Amino acid sequence: MSFSAAFQSPLARATQTADVVLQGLLKHEGKALYGAQYAAWQKAPEAFEIDGHAPVRELWHRASLAWRGILAAAPQPQADAVPTAAAAHPTAAVADPWVALVVAHNAINQGLVAIALGLPPSYFRRLPQNNAALSVIQLDPAQLQPAGNGHTTTQPPVVTLVCLNQSPDNPFKNPDKVAAQVVLVSPSTAGAGEGAAAGRAALAGVLGKLRVTHVLAAPTPAATETAHALLAGQVLPAAAAAAVDAAAAGSSGAAAVLEQLGAAEALDPAALWRRAVAAAGGSGAGPEHRDGGDRQYGNVVVVVDEAVHAAVLWAALGTAVPGDGGPRIRVSAGGLSVLEFAADPRVTPAAVRCVNNTAHLPPPEPAA
């Protein structure tokens, strides 16, 4: 891929105390140096202030200025331009699109992605950025609209998050710091064809790195076939197979439990998210994660189509799917998204580790 422009974020460490705290350079000594301030930083970073600075709010401001610079460098709509088919249909292919490469560190990337999705500073730490991972944000062209009296107004570009933290590495990070996970999976295709089987095998290979406790599958052939493949790919295939056979009886003694979603529930992203969180909250069938008491937490896989997958991501962020003109999240067939909980899933906001990761899928066959 060639790039039309490149932007780099200078990492000026230790220039201000606020920046030092923000970059996490004092994590090991923060409690000793800052006491109550460190506790406030951990509890509500978006409200935290130190030495006259509000690090997270200032970060969001800097990210918004960065977006202004990026958009200013992009080609601008012309006053005499006639809307094209691609402009009328944002998903249509555009020849030689303008592509900007942005190389930055974790904090500023969080701000850039959050602002693109319309999320405020309270989402700091909810969109962590992995080192050397790729995130893609698509901006469909801004359009000029008639405003009367011969004037025009420029509509903002339509923003689409194509992927977040795309990487061939294991998507399940920091197991010692993660209490539970919800993994959203969209089947590649249904059927016994070579391509469909390869897609299911690729997903099963990735999920084989995680001890799954529950699988919630939409009532479709593709979702059911994918769920069975994922269970068969677990560390204990015999026990996983037993879970498939015993699912209808509600057995909870096997390594994982397969639950078929009702038709209405499979189309309700908020209800589906609540059910996934409840399953991750634990019912005695969870893996080794504990909160210090008797409750165990689980790792839940949700198998749904691409549209529901994207809608559940918005539900996980605590917001409804934006309306026309608002930001979008794209999910591809075979795509995988990971949401993490640092503590009890029922009371802890989820952090989005990756969105629409497709690095595990086999490369597409070249066109004839």
Instruction: Give me the tens of pLDDT residue by residue for the chain, a chain 368 residues long.
Output: 788 888 887 654 333 444 444 555 455 666 677 778 778 888 899 998 888 889 999 999 999 999 999 988 888 766 555 444 444 444 445 567 889 999 888 899 999 999 999 999 999 999 999 888 999 999 887 666 666 676 767 677 789 999 999 998 899 988 888 999 999 999 987 555 677 788 888 899 999 889 899 999 999 999 999 999 999 888 544 444 444 344 333 334 446 789 999 999 889 999 999 999 999 997 544 444 444 444 479 999 999 999 999 999 999 999 999 988 889 999 999 999 999 999 999 999 999 999 999 999 887 766 55
| Amino acid 354: pLDDT | 96
Please indicate, yes or no, whether residues 181 and 274 belong to a single structural domain of this protein.
Answer: yes
CA pair distance 119, 17, nearest whole angstrom: 26
Contacts of 97 (CB under 8 A, 6+ apart): none
pLDDT at site 213: 92
Amino acid 291: pLDDT = 41
Give the domain CATH number at 127: 3.40.50
| Nearby residues of 75 by Cβ (< 8 Å), 6 or more positions away | 98
Long-range contacts: 319-326, Cβ < 8 Å, 24+?
A: 319/119, 321/269, 322/118, 325/155, 325/156, 325/158, 326/118
Residue-number span of the structural domain to which 153 is assigned: 5-165
User: How many domains does the structure of the chain reveal?
Assistant: 2
Query: Which pLDDT score is estimated for 61?
Result: 95
Task: Name the one residue in this structure whose structure tokens are 């506790």.
Answer: 39
User: Same structural domain for residues 206 and 224?
Assistant: yes
Q: Which of 324, 357, 319 is nearest to 122 (CA)?
A: 319
Last residue of a domain, one of 165, 191, 213: 165
Domain identity same for 151 and 234: no
Instruction: For 209-219, give one letter per residue: b (16+ CB within 10 A) or e.
Output: ebbbbbbbbbe
Q: Which residue has the tokens 């969001």?
A: 60
35/70 same-domain check: yes
How far CA 245 is from CA of 130, 230, 256, in Å, comes to: 38, 14, 11
Rg, C-alpha atoms of the chain: 22
Cβ(244)–Cβ(231) below 8 Å? yes
pLDDT at 304: 96
Indicate whether 44 and 141 sit together in one domain: yes
Residue type, 289: H
* 274 plus 144 within the same structural domain: no
What's the length of the chain?
368
Q: What is the CATH number of the domain that holds 317?
A: 3.40.50.1240
Of 140, 165, 190, the last residue of a domain is: 165
Residue 125 and residue 74 share a domain: yes
Same domain, 262 and 309: yes
Element (H, E) at 65: helix 55-73
Please check whether residues 261 and 219 belong to one and the same domain.
yes
Q: What's the confidence (pLDDT) of residue 188?
A: 82
DSSP character for 308?
H
E runs forming strands in the chain: 5-8, 100-103, 134-140, 143-148, 151-155, 158-166, 180-185, 214-217, 257-260, 299-303, 328-329, 336-341, 351-357
Asked if residue 362 belongs to a domain, the reply is no
The answer to whether position 368 is within a domain reads no
Q: What is the pLDDT of residue 154?
A: 67
Query: What are the tokens at 40?
Result: 């406030």
Angle at 65 between CA 60 and CA 66, to 5 degrees: 95
